[in-house]
A = this chain, B = another copy of it.
């Protein structure tokens, strides 16, 4: 059996043509183990030929099974898609199979665009019902979207203690750039800035992890932890450890501890000379004890 594939059309609506040569089986079920890229993902193409359908009749099914889908519904369109399903008895008369060759055209669905649409809603300010003044800058947003994403905003806008004049909520102790990035995350589930490797980005992530903790945005918090883990070096390790401890970032804390207590003596010497380490010594005796235990464990 041979498989060939062609993409037809492009843009919002396009079709994938799969042509399988050598469809001369009639009795046993045949599976076709062949990988194929569809909609930007890798899929396994499986041909069930013929296949006893739950209604009792025999069908020929051609399916795309999403590869390496460990969790449930990781792929936006589901983890498996049936490309063609036809009655075995009609396969030849339907025109799908001709000269022992089966041709199927599969309509491709565009990728999900919910984050894009909500991002545009945030930018357009259409229907916004709350304004956040943040250090001289003002942000317009939608209470229901904020509440859907953050338990803190839910309580603030729709809980029993909701503010009466909640059309305007002043934000203290946060930079406008940080609040703006947090808003974009709330609407789009992403912070593109965090993908950059500049020092400024690590700085943003440090502030964003505080904001994420304040508004209980758990996924944003892990995104920031992940980004900050790349910025651990001798100059930042101690400060980062203090931040991780303060904001309850367990994974980041483990990585900082490992870096400080698990490296070489020269490494530890350099870390101990930083202002961050001096602050840690002055303010957190518990952390110092934890570091001591970790370093001792490494020596064994």
Interface residues of A (CB under 8 A from B): 9, 12-13, 15, 37, 39-42, 54, 67-71, 74, 76-78, 82, 84-87, 90, 92-95, 105-115, 117-118, 120-121, 126-128, 142-145, 147-149, 154, 157-158, 188-190, 192, 195, 197, 218-219, 222-223, 225-226, 229-230, 233-234, 250-252, 254-255, 258-259, 262-264, 266-267
| A121 partner, pick from B148, B195, B234, beta carbons under 8 A | B148
A76 touches B121 (CB 8 A): no
| A113 partner, pick from B87, B189, B263, beta carbons under 8 A | B189
Q: Which 8 A-B pairs have the closest CB atoms?
A: A95-B263, A127-B144, A121-B148, A40-B74, A42-B68, A112-B189, A93-B264, A114-B189
Given contacts A13-B250, A113-B189, contact A267 B93 (CB under 8 A): yes
| A118 partner, pick from B110, B148, B263, beta carbons under 8 A | B148
| A259 partner, pick from B9, B94, B109, B195, beta carbons under 8 A | B94
What is the bound-complex CA distance between A9 and B251, given in angstroms? 10
Contacts of A12 in B (CB 8 A): 218-219, 222
Contacts of A266 in B (CB 8 A): 93
**Shortest beta-carbon distance from A84 to chain B in Å:** 7
16 other A-B residue contacts (CB within 8 Å) besides A94-B267, A106-B229, A117-B148: A9-B251, A12-B218, A12-B219, A77-B190, A85-B230, A86-B233, A90-B234, A105-B229, A108-B226, A112-B190, A114-B115, A114-B149, A121-B145, A121-B147, A126-B148, A128-B144
Closest B residue by C-beta to A68: B42
**Shortest beta-carbon distance from A42 to chain B in Å:** 4
**Shortest beta-carbon distance from A294 to chain B in Å:** 11
Contacts of A250 in B (CB 8 A): 13
A90 touches B40 (CB 8 A): no
Q: Is the interface of A mostly helix, strand, loop or mixed?
A: mixed
Closest B residue by C-beta to A128: B144
Contacts of A195 in B (CB 8 A): 78
A251 touches B110 (CB 8 A): no
A233 touches B87 (CB 8 A): yes
Given contacts A74-B40, A82-B197, contact A113 B219 (CB under 8 A): yes
Given contacts A117-B149, A121-B144, A233-B87, contact A95 B264 (CB under 8 A): yes
**Shortest beta-carbon distance from A132 to chain B in Å:** 16
| A107 partner, pick from B108, B148, B225, beta carbons under 8 A | B225
Contacts of A267 in B (CB 8 A): 90, 93-95
What is the bound-complex CA distance between A13 and B220, given in angstroms? 11
Contacts of A219 in B (CB 8 A): 12, 109-110, 112-113
What is the bound-complex CA distance between A189 and B78, given in angstroms? 12
B145 touches A144 (CB 8 A): yes
